[in-house]
Amino acid sequence: MTTIDSPDRAPARVAADPATRGRFITLEGGEGAGKSTLLALVRERLAARGIDVVLTREPGGTPLGEAVRALVLDPAQRGIRAESELLLVFAARAQHVRELIEPALAAGRWVVSDRYTDASYAYQGGGRGQPIERIAALEAWVAPIRPDLSLLLDLPVAQGLARAGARGATDRIEAEDAAFFERVRAVYRERAAAEPGRFRIIDASQPLAAVCAAAATQLDAFLDLAGVAA
Ligand code: Z5A
């Protein structure tokens, strides 16, 4: 298992050989869904099968991406326009895809990302009302690589906000109202329903042990399908 903090720069797009490329797994969901908590489990599960895993997150995953993350989540940045926010998350993503995700997959590593493009459809599309076509155009331009598996941790908004709130200080996006997060959740669920082959929905309102067990079952099924020896 390798966690890349400062990856080498990739000057050009890296073409991955489908026969040897790693797999790309994303974790998605609303506030307090348990993605960060689950990341450790996913790493253990994959490492137990001898898979070389790169854990990453969005916004973030590269020095530029982490700087953009700090800006996007900074409560002091009250005036960020919806268009600016969309471009910022995609600027971070462009760097992330070129610098980390594509080279890692091409090298045969598996990449597990805490959020990816579905988050932009949910937050900037659902939450902020940015047009879907605009998000799709940015995705096609800088993030054409699609996840092989996306685990959607779904739970009622009030429950997620209560969990996130119990941690203390809220970031700029967490400070949005419940209606914003209801729209985010609705888009996530719509996307999962539209792509059942890629998404697995996990009931994240359950106790943590049950959420982890459900995720482990889904991961094992995916690994079996991918032909990874147990
Ligand atoms: N964003 C965007 O707008 N557009 C984009 O394109 C992208 C992102 C990529 C990134 O923050 C923010 O950026 C995010 C969307 C936006 N919005 N916000 N804010 P993030 O992903 O780091 O932050 P987050 O989603 O707010 O993370 P979170 O609130 O930490 O959620 P989580 O990682 O899913 O949960 P957790 O940290 O694992 O758990 C939260 C707490 O709940 C913690 O105390 C756990 O112990 C507890 N927990 C977790 N699961 C359970 C269960 N099952 N039972 C009881 N307690 C639990």
CB 19 within 8 A of CB 88: no
Average pLDDT over the chain reads 92
pLDDT score at 8: 46
Q: How far apart are CA 160 and CA 155, in angstroms?
A: 7
What is the CB < 6 Å shell around ligand 1? 29, 31-37, 58-59, 89, 114-115, 119-120, 123-124, 163-164, 167, 171, 173-174, 204, 207-208, 211
Percent with pLDDT over 90 in the chain: 84
Contacts of 94 (CB under 8 A, 6+ apart): 142, 143
Q: How far apart are CA 35 and CA 212, in angstroms?
A: 10
- Is residue 229 very low, low, confident or very high in pLDDT (cuts 50, 70, 90)? confident
Cβ atoms within 10 Å, residue 13 = 13
Q: Where are the domains of the chain?
A: 24-225
Which among 22, 221, 190 is positioned nearest to 118, based on CA atoms? 190
- Is residue 7 very low, low, confident or very high in pLDDT (cuts 50, 70, 90)? very low
Beta bridge partners of 167: none
CB 9 within 8 A of CB 99: yes
SS3 content of the chain, % helix, strand, coil (to 5): 50, 10, 40
CATH class, domain 24-225, is alpha beta
Output the six-digit token pair for 162: 């209560």
CB 135 within 8 A of CB 192: no
pTM value > 0.95: no
Ligand 1 closest atom vs CA 58: 9
pLDDT digits (tens, 9 = 90+) for 165-186: 888 788 999 889 999 999 999 9
Helices (H), 112-177: 117-119, 132-142, 157-165
Residue 18 alpha carbon to ligand 1 centre in Å: 32
Cβ atoms within 10 Å, residue 36 = 11
pLDDT score at 3: 45
pLDDT digits (tens, 9 = 90+) for 103-134: 999 999 999 999 999 999 999 999 999 999 99
- Averaged pLDDT, 182-193: 98
pLDDT score at 98: 98
pLDDT score at 10: 46
| Least confident piece of the model among 16-20, 33-37, 157-161, 196-200 | 16-20
Ligand 1 closest atom vs CA 117: 6
**Widest Cα–Cα separation across the chain:** 51
The yes-or-no verdict on residue 2 having pLDDT over 70 is no
pLDDT digits (tens, 9 = 90+) for 50-82: 999 999 999 999 999 999 999 999 999 999 999
